[in-house]
């Protein structure tokens, strides 16, 4: 898509829809910025307990939302497929470990360390993609320059 085409698409998009991504990004940044202020006073509570509460509360909220939208069938079909189930279990374990470490770090005064880890993580992921998967590094460069 050329730059003229992208300007045309942006010009014809409904005004409310065009700003929804920006609003979602700003909301996410505010939540991530305020989260350590919430977690720090909970330093006496074990990180595993905080993460367990987060998992249970998130599952309840997501299942209620999916039930409201009538999309629980997609969850059933994903859980019925053994390959999808294994992938979901693996991703659940990785996200849980990530959150336990983050909550522990914030609760024990390592906010800057945890923030630096979140900053470096995408860079390491790209590097691993280049080294392990053999992804061409120029792809990332081209995508980045297309966005700017």
CA distance 55 to 61: 10
CA-based nearest residue to 95, from 55, 141, 40, 132? 55
pLDDT of residue 1: 47
Contact 107, 39 (CB under 8 A): yes
Q: Using one digit for the tens of pLDDT, what is the confidence trace for 50-100?
A: 999 999 999 999 999 999 999 999 999 999 999 999 999 999 999 999 899
Candidate from 30-34, 67-71, 126-130, 140-144 with smallest mean pLDDT: 140-144
Decide which of 43 and 148 is more confident.
Answer: 43
- Reduced 3-state DSSP string for the chain: CCHHHHHHHHHHCCHHHHHHHHHHHHHHHHHHHHHHHHHHHHCCCCHHHHHHHHHHHHHHHHHHHHHHHCCHHHHHHHHHCHHHHHHHHHHHHHHHHHHHHHHHHHHCCCHHHHHHHHHHHHHHHHHHHHHCCCCCHHHHHHHHHHHC
pLDDT of residue 70: 93
Contact 111, 103 (CB under 8 A): no
Contact 39, 99 (CB under 8 A): no
Q: What is the pTM for the complete model shown?
A: 0.67
């Amino acid at each position: 898509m050329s730059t003229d085409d992208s300007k045309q698409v942006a010009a014809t998009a409904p005004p409310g829809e065009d700003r929804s991504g920006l609003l979602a990004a700003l909301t996410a940044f505010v939540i991530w910025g305020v989260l350590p202020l919430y977690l720090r006073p909970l330093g006496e509570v074990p990180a595993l307990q905080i993460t367990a509460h987060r998992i249970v509360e998130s599952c309840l909220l997501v299942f209620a939302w999916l039930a409201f939208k009538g999309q629980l069938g997609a969850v059933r079909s994903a859980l019925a497929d053994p390959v999808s189930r294994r992938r979901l279990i693996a991703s659940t374990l990785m996200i849980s470990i990530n959150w336990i470490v983050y909550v522990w770090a914030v609760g024990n005064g390592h906010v800057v360390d945890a923030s630096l880890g979140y900053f470096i993580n995408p860079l390491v992921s790209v590097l691993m993609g280049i080294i392990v998967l053999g992804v061409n590094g120029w792809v990332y460069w081209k995508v980045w320059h297309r966005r700017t």
